[in-house]
A and B are shown apart, each in its own frame.
Chain A
Amino acid sequence: MKQGKPHKSLYGVMAQFDNPSQLVAAAKETYAAGYRQINGYSPFPIEELSEAIGFRRTALPLIVLIGGILGGLGGFFMQYWMEVIDYPINVGGKPFNSWPAFIPITFECTVLVAAFSAVLGMLALNKLPQPYHRVFNAPHFALATRDSFFLVIESKDPKFDHDEAVRFLKTLDPREVVDVEL
């Protein structure tokens, strides 16, 4: 691999660490060194890690809020349409739009659509299901769901240079540094 050229055949370089403290420290240093297209892999959620790789905001709460509002409005106006427009029945002289009676279903629809938005929104933002991903090619990566911690500098990072990235990761005291093929 020649220096300074874009790496068409490489997804990135991956360093393996033994514990979360090492991974977070390494991620912080990598970010400080100017790399932005980096990602950590761990067997359990590490709050400090997403901060360390510069990932703080997610649109998920907004998606859930919109889902909830749409669900609530949809639930209410579904009943309104049924009771007032499509098939009005006079029940004991009560108004057709007896909104207090619509509240339970409105509430249920709000929660239902908000919950679906949370799950499907999370999966969509994470681009799951995605049975195949390049990082699975890395040796020992199966340990990422057990007891090992990984840091990847992706080749799409503007600062990425293979030899430089490998040299840099090796200074962070990893167990091993490997290339991830594209």
Chain B
Amino acid sequence: MFWFVGLIPDFATLRDRANSKAFRLIYGLLAMGWRGSARHWHRYEMAYLLLAGLATPLVLSVHTIVSFDFAVGIIPGWHATIFPPYFVAGAIYAGFAMVLLLTIPLRKIYGLESFITMRHMNNMAKVMLATGLIVFYGYLIEAFFGWYSGNHYERFMIWNRMHGPYAPYYWALIFCNGLTPQLLWFKKIRANLVLLWIISVIVSIGMWLERFVIVVTSLHRDFLPSSWGMYQPSQWDWAMYVGTIGFFFALLFLFIRFLPMISIFEMRTILPAAEVEE
């Protein structure tokens, strides 16, 4: 909804620039008769501001509640009070990594350097570093909890994570999400787009590993040895996974093809010619 509202004025621009009747009709329907009236703009800006304000706490609550889904489970490795803040930080961290992963090539291919500047890149990298540190703190504190709880099952869970059959996944996770983002402390690395892109790929892999470690390593050694087992993704698991990525990119490319990648009207407001001189 937020996304659609943000596009309404741009749909109107696309409608008025369309050079075929079909596009004119489709964009016209989506623009809903937007005509840039001053009264409309005034209410529009107010609605947009309120929506942004409402959406921000929603981000926190969504990830908190997703983490509650784990935390109410009694399985060691799921039943942790650290989950809500660590999931929220993880979501922002993974989100920025994904944005960088997509933005860096798009910016290069479509020549958007003057819209998405190095300052944006630098700031995104800094947010990634900050939230990455929170996530890493979450990993460390999880291990601490396991030891400090004195609970036999909790201790076994964390020991098994580090030294059990899935240990390579755990250490790969620490490498991807704990160590790699430390490179972002250096300004030279934040300014190097190739390195920044590689780091964002590693972080995205790390976030996938995080989910794998939480879900699989916690479940494969349950309270009862009779329910112990190993999980190997089948070819259908992989096909499903690759398919979702393909579906995402198909939609993304359709979006880039038919809709503005960057809000047109918001870019206009920052043009020097948009200044109102008294």
Task: Contact check, A131 vs B47: say whether CB atoms are below 8 A apart.
Answer: no
Spot the interface stretch: A73-81, A112-120, A161-169: A112-120
Q: A119-B1, A145-B9 are in contact. Are A58 and B33 (CB under 8 A)?
A: no
A121 close to B35 (CB less than 8 A)? no
B277 with A21: CB separation less than 8 A: yes
Q: How far is the CA of A19 from the CA of B68 in the complex (A)?
A: 53
Minimum CB–CB distance from A104 to chain B (whole Å) comes to: 6
Q: Mark A95-126, 1 if CB is under 8 A from B, else 0.
A: 00000000010011001001110110111011
Q: How far is the CB of A26 from chain B (nearest CB, A)?
A: 12
Report if B232 contacts A (CB, 8 A). no
Q: Does A160 contact B (CB under 8 A)?
A: no
A residues near B64, Cβ cutoff 8 Å: 104
| With A60-B46, A115-B1 as contacts: A21 and B51 at CB distance below 8 Å | no
Residue pair A45, B44 in contact (C-beta under 8 Å): yes
Cβ contacts under 8 Å, A61 to chain B: 46, 50
What is the minimal beta-carbon distance from A157 to any residue of chain B, in angstroms?
15
Interchain CB contact under 8 A, B40 and A111: no
Q: Would you give the shortest CB distance from A125 to chain B, in whole angstroms?
A: 5
**Of B9, B273, B278, which contacts A19 at CB under 8 A?**
B273
B38: chain A residues within 8 A (beta carbon): 27, 39-42, 46, 49-50, 53, 55
Q: Which of A5-13, A83-91, A132-140, A171-179 contacts B (4 or more CB under 8 A)?
A: A132-140
**Pairwise interchain contact A126-B39, C-beta atoms closer than 8 A:** yes
Q: Kindly provide the distance from the CB of A107 to the nearest chain B CB, expressed in whole angstroms.
A: 6
SS class, residues of chain B in contact with chain A:
helix
Q: Which applies to chain A's interface (DSSP): helix, strand, loop or mixed?
A: helix
Which chain B positions have C-beta within 8 A of A72?
A: none
A115: contacting residue among B17, B34, B54, CB under 8 A: B54
Q: How far is the CA of A144 from the CA of B268 in the complex (A)?
A: 13
With A and B bound together, what is the CA distance between A129 and B28 in angstroms?
Answer: 10
Question: Interface size on A (CB < 8 Å)?
Answer: 51
Give A144 to B15 CA distance when docked, in angstroms. Answer: 12
> Given the known A-B contacts A48-B276, A125-B43, are A104 and B61 also in contact in the complex, defined by CB atoms under 8 Å?
yes
B58 at the interface (CB under 8 A from A): yes
Assess the A108–B61 pair: CB atoms within 8 A: yes
Question: Which one, B5, B34, B276, contacts A119 given CB within 8 A?
Answer: B5
Within 8 A of A (CB), among B1-22: 1-2, 5, 9, 12-13, 15-17
Are B12 and A145 within 8 A (Cβ)?
yes
Structural contact, A119 and B12, CB atoms closer than 8 A:
no
| B65 is an interface residue with CB less than 8 A from chain A | yes
Chain A positions 127 through 158: 1 when the CB is less than 8 Å from some CB of chain B, otherwise 0: 01111110110000111111000000000000
Q: Enumerate the 5 nearest inter-chain pairs by beta-carbon distance, A residue then B residue, closest first.
A: A129-B32, A122-B47, A40-B38, A142-B16, A130-B33
Write 22 A-B pairs (CB below 8 A) sorted by A numbering. Answer: A20-B274, A21-B276, A41-B36, A42-B38, A44-B9, A45-B42, A45-B265, A50-B41, A55-B38, A58-B42, A60-B50, A111-B55, A111-B57, A111-B58, A114-B50, A116-B1, A122-B46, A126-B44, A130-B33, A133-B35, A141-B35, A144-B35
Given contacts A45-B44, A114-B50, list 4 more A-B pairs with CB under 8 A. A40-B37, A41-B36, A46-B274, A111-B54
